[in-house]
Structure 1
Amino acid sequence: MRSLAITLLGLINTTSFHSTNHQIARYVLENLERVEYLSEPDLARACSVSKSSVNRFCKELGYPGFAQFQADVLRFNRRHAFKYVLPPAAPDEPLPAVPAPDDPTLLGRYCAAVARTAARLAANVSDETLRGLARDLDAYERVIVMGEMQSGDVAQMFQHNLFEAGRVVTASVYAKEQRELVSNLEPGTLVIVFSLFGRFFHRLEKQHGIVERPEGTKLCWITSCPMFTPASRPDLVIDLGVEKNLTAGNLAMEMVANVVTMHYWQQRNG
């Protein structure tokens, strides 16, 4: 099922939100524990599609029919859920020493720089803001995460971790897809943009024009360098306040994404 999950997430990313295949893939990913008890007509009713659409969906994924698809889904278990809980520190366990900035090894100096970045990030970003973003993941019907190049890697990692935590979102890492998604936003959509160098909206407006968003949408921007444009101002800006090199930028975005995922996991599981 692990490879099937990746296939279904890819389907989520490359099909229209209202398409038949998108609706089926999304329902299955969001209801893995229920699929065991569903017949093919049950799944069709749950997705508001025809039974023939479910059959066609299974065949397009390479299965002879629904029974074989269902059997593959049932092999899946959210085995990695434990990774969303920070391990408790033993009372008598000493904290590991942080390498000094003048450590003779490159690895030691790099780790020291990363530790400084983590401390700066914790000082710059409000944990309550990240908790609020985790609440938004459930408050909005549809969630789209975006990024390009290195930022796209963070967006896709965020999508996968959220899926493991129980929330299915769309990830978009190509400019053409992003323009189409942004120009066709519907009420009830949350968009989270990862942008290391802060030029996402400059590029988007240059190629697409002013981003018009309907009421009921929310735009969150996570960046190390917020460079605002006159028109497309996000509803929420999370300024990481760190540098844009290998010891900071992408790592800081990944840390923020991980904390949001852990907050989401805690919300769902008490």
Structure 2
Amino acid sequence: MADPRDPSQDELAGTEQPFVAHLMELRDRILYALYGIGAAMALLALWPGPSGLIDFIATPIRAHMPPDARLIAVGVFTPFFVPLKVLMMAGLLLALPWVIYQIWAFVAPGLYSHEKRFALPLIVIGSALAYLGIAFVQFFVLDKMFAFIQGVTPASVNATPDIASYVEAILSLYLAFGLAFQVPVVVMLMVRFDMVTVDKLKSFRGYFIVIAFVIAAVVTPPDVISQVALAVPMCLLYELGIWGSRWFARVSRAPDESPATPAD
């Protein structure tokens, strides 16, 4: 059986580049990614604009505040820096596929053809799951969380949060859910690289449920709504990863690799 790592049959043989060439390539890819983020920020600055972005992300909490209530800005420079921070974050999210493509373009020359086959779908799946996690926060979690918080707020307290602390809180939730929704990708990679088998993943279900709720309790605000909203999808995505690992281990097999895989 042919060894794909044999220099005489290695499809990557002769493609090595000097270290300086790799650094120049890395520099170019970083610049291209920054250009994409800058272009996305410019587009968002034109429409809907920083104020429009702030209004959008503030929709969940404004829905549970009195009609005439508004978020406040405590710091002197908060009205300038917070919209700029939101614009940068929104630009990064909009340009995320372009940024991931630059990462892919940098590492692709060093991958074998069968590795390229599964790397690109993983990038697409990971990006889609990140967007799904952020959308889940914006359109479901925040609404339920603020409804709960406003419901337990004493009548003598006027809940008017500072815009800086509000943006910081929801950006941390975006990050937490975006990363947590990568569970299927992690599970499929662990199976593909023989770190664990599907049978072991199935037997680990009970422990993962506990781990999911512990992670949710640590990374989310101290309210039961957001904790359950993170832990339950993580458990469901864990099951999705177990199901997808069988398919992924099959389609990402090297040409000379035995059909028998740990997923079987």
* TM-score clears 0.5: no
TM-score, structure 1 normalization: 0.27
Structure with the higher fraction of residues in strand conformation: 1
Of the two structures, which has the highest relative contact order with CA contacts closer than 8 Å and spacing of 6 or more?
2
Structure with the higher fraction of residues in helix conformation: 2
Query: For the pair shown, which has the larger CA radius of gyration, 1 or 2?
Result: 2
